[in-house]
Amino acid sequence: VLRFKQGFGRLIRSKSDRGLVILCDGRVIHKRYGRYFLSSLPVRTHIRTSRSQILDKIDVWFDEEYQKELL
């Protein structure tokens, strides 16, 4: 869990940084120890949904990032 958490520290280094992580390991949901991994995340946005809805959310996220770069 510690190494998992440290990986997020490398993704987000300042308040202006944004990152997107997709975790596709079912053990996080189906195994008892999975909750420790999820609770170690710095941001509490966990989405369990279909592949197509996840891809839609990723598109929206990238569109938001692109719009910020234009400003």
DSSP one-letter string for 1-68: -HHHHHHHHHH--STT---------THHHHSTTHHHHHHT-SS-------HHHHHHHHHHHHHHHHHH
Q: To which residue do tokens 């189906």 refer?
A: 30
State the first-to-last Cα distance of the chain, in angstroms, to the nearest integer: 38
Structural domain count, the chain: 1
Between 44 and 25, residue with greater pLDDT = 25
pLDDT of 52 higher than 90: yes
pTM for the model stands at 0.59
Q: Could you list the residue range(s) of the whole structural domain that residue 51 is in?
A: 2-70
**Percentage of residues in the chain having pLDDT higher than 90:** 10
What pLDDT, on a 0 to 100 scale, did the predictor assign at position 1?
Answer: 84
pLDDT band for position 71 (50/70/90)?
Answer: low
